[in-house]
């Protein structure tokens, strides 16, 4: 993981994370992905999982790769794991 590690007193540093949200979130299963991911995107994925039933009892991997879209289509991303 990149953009860290941080502790609770490093909030200002965390908000200036290195990826600047420029790389897309890529989801895969079965340990097929190889790359790095932002701690911020890991947190975002954890929160977004709460909104989609198809993520219940599912394991998956994430990395950051490629150009990030303006709006992330979480349902489309999560549909890749079911």
Grouping H, G, I as helix, E, B as strand and the rest as coil, residue 48 is: helix
Q: Is the pLDDT of residue 68 over 70?
A: yes
Instruction: Determine the Cα–Cα distance for residues 77 and 71; give it in Å rounded to an integer.
Output: 12
Q: Report helix, strand and coil shares of the chain as percent, to nearest 5.
A: 35, 20, 45
Residue 74 CB contacts under 8 Å (≥ 6 apart), including other chains: 48, 51, 52
Grouping H, G, I as helix, E, B as strand and the rest as coil, residue 80 is: helix
Instruction: Determine the Cα–Cα distance for residues 5 and 29; give it in Å rounded to an integer.
Output: 25
pLDDT band at 17 (very low <50, low <70, confident <90, very high): low
Q: Is the pLDDT of residue 82 over 80?
A: no
What value does the mean pLDDT of the chain take? 84
Mean of pLDDT values over 34-57: 93
């Amino acid at each position: 993981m990149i953009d860290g590690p941080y502790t609770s007193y490093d909030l200002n540093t965390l908000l200036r994370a290195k990826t600047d949200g420029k790389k897309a979130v890529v989801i895969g299963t079965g340990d097929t992905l190889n790359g790095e991911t932002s701690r911020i995107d890991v947190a975002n994925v954890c929160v977004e999982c709460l909104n989609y039933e198809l993520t219940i009892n599912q394991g998956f991997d994430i990395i950051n790769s490629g150009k990030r879209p303006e709006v992330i289509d979480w349902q489309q991303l999560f549909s890749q794991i079911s």
